[in-house]
Structure 1
Amino acid sequence: MTMNIQTTETLLSDDDIGQYLLDNPDFFSRNPEVLVQMQGPTAVQRADGVVDFQSVMVDRLRDEIQNLTACTQDVIETSRTNMTYLTRTHAAVLALLSAQDAQHMARIITQDLPLLLDVDAVAFGFEQNTKAETALRLPGVRMLPFNYLDAQIGEGGDVALIRDMLDDGTVFGDEHLDIRSAALARLRPSATTAGGLIALGSHMSGAFHAGQGTDLLNFLARVCEKLFQKWLTNT
């Protein structure tokens, strides 16, 4: 005997859905993503002359949810970016700590740090001063004019982020024509060594700007400072 099985599709009516929402007034609180997809009615003026602004409230709630979602995404992206910068800085510091002498460290700064920090160039230099005679013999070191640091970073300042870098070759040498933005950090190796700087350069204008944090760059500069002090003292 053959049995016919008939499948009945149950459709919910507007009344069914409305009754469910009335029975579950916290539904949208528990499922805000559903509300975002809803299309609310426009403001309607009732017979008694009162305007129903419920739709305005719904639209406002929808906008708040969307803004909150966007803010959350921004926080996530910022956290990822900060973690990337932190990881790169740690890798750069470990590379510097592996230096066998001042010459090796100088080569790490100019050749390895651009790759590790994901920038286009890294340079370092010391102001022209008889106290910097030892430092000036390092590979790749730049000879900076006297008082150059105060002019570029500010008197007594530690870090300067330059949106549009105009370098005549003083800092980045032959690469200066390609450098459009830079981050400069002051170095104070010792009381007997002229002041210096470490500079990160980018080919993109605005890559560095005043709104960025400087903690990691400052930390990197302090590590370089201590290592220069160590190696130059032992030279």
Structure 2
Amino acid sequence: MSRQSQTIDESLREEIISRPDMILDDRDLMQALIAANERAMGGNIVDLRGIAMDRLEARLDRLEDTHRSVIAAAYENLAGTNQIHRAILRMLDPLEFEPFLRDLGGEVADILRVDSVKLVLESVQNDSDPAIRRLGDVLSVAEPGFIDAFLADGRNHAPKRQVTLRQMSEGDPAIYGESASWMRSEACLRLDFGPGRLPGLLVMGSEDPHLFTPQQGTDLLAFFAGVFERAMRRWLA
């Protein structure tokens, strides 16, 4: 074999010398060079530097995966924040209670991408009252103690947290009516309307069993519930 065939092209050689980072930043090229070096050393020599590089490379891969997961979670959280903010702004637009309830089950539900939004108010008044029924099917009135029983879901005590996320085989007909059999997950927002007032409950239902799960964070929904409580106090005053 001639000497010329064994030497690298001069222009390529000068390019590599002037820009060594071009080689260092190319993972495939670096792996090929390391493999060639190992073959040149022979099979009886343990290349500790090569082993260390393999481990560093594996660690870099894990860090890159973690980085991608963190970025994805950040984008998802930002999208969720924007979604809640848009829903709150739309919820605060109406100046009367009836449009407020209508938007809650309409545009607000669409922005939140849920299939159902229901507001339950505990009261000694019956929901067969014509004034209540005129407000549509978003609002229902229940007897005192209903909310704790609903949130307890068969257990001895209802959770004290403001937001409860859960999955189910079907929804409660007392909440969802005829669409109960389609519901697979729900977010239950406990509402406090102030001293001397019975509590309320805002229930968001979804046909997607993975939209609301107990493992999810609840900060954004808790913020939504806090704004909703303050908006409701205007109408209850």
TM-score by length of 2: 0.74
Shift of 1:121: 1.9
Partner of 1:172: 176
Partner of 1:219: 223
- Structure 2 residue 187 is matched with structure 1 residue 183: yes
Q: Which amino acid aligns with 1:70?
A: D
8 Å CA contact 2:144–2:198 kept in 1: the answer is no
Q: Distance in 1 between matches of 2:85 and 2:223?
A: 10
Task: Evaluate the alpha carbon distance shift between residue 49 and residue 214 of structure 1 in structure 2; reply closer, same or farther with a 3 A threshold.
Answer: same
Q: Kindly, what percent of the aligned residue pairs are identical?
A: 24
Q: Which amino acid aligns with 1:174?
A: E
Compare 184-193 and 110-119 and name the one that shifted more.
184-193
Determine helix, strand or coil for the equivalent of 1:211. Answer: coil
Shift of 1:158: 0.5
Q: Distance in 1 between matches of 2:234 and 2:169?
A: 31
Pick aligned residue for 1:35 from 27, 30, 33: 27
8 Å CA contact 1:181–1:201 kept in 2: the answer is yes
Shift of 1:197: 1.1
Q: Distance in 1 between matches of 2:170 and 2:197?
A: 27
Q: List alignment gaps of at least 5 residues for structure 2.
A: 1-6, 153-157
Q: List alignment gaps of at least 5 residues for structure 1.
A: 1-9
Pick aligned residue for 1:158 from 143, 162, 183: 162
Pick aligned residue for 2:88 from 77, 89, 93: 93
Partner of 2:106: 111
TM-score by length of 1: 0.75
Q: Which amino acid aligns with 2:27?
A: L
Compare 169-178 and 138-147 and name the one that shifted more.
138-147
- Counting only pairs closer than 5 Å after superposition, residues 136-151 of structure 1 correspond to structure 2 as 136=132, 138-139=135-136, 140-144=138-142, 146-151=144-149
Task: Evaluate the alpha carbon distance shift between residue 106 and residue 35 of structure 1 in structure 2; reply closer, same or farther with a 3 A threshold.
Answer: same
Determine helix, strand or coil for the equivalent of 2:54. Answer: helix
Compare 174-183 and 188-197 and name the one that shifted more.
188-197
Q: Distance in 2 between matches of 1:36 and 1:71?
A: 22
Q: For each residue in 1:134-176, what CA deviation from the matched residue of structure 2 results, as whole angstroms up to 9, or x when unmatched?
A: 9955432133454343341634320101033642312222221
Shift of 1:50: 6.0
8 Å CA contact 1:182–1:199 kept in 2: the answer is yes
Q: For each residue in 1:86-144, what CA deviation from the matched residue of structure 2 results, as whole angstroms up to 9, or x when unmatched?
A: 111111111111111222211111112121112222221123x3178799554321334
Partner of 1:11: 8
Larger helix proportion of the pair: 2
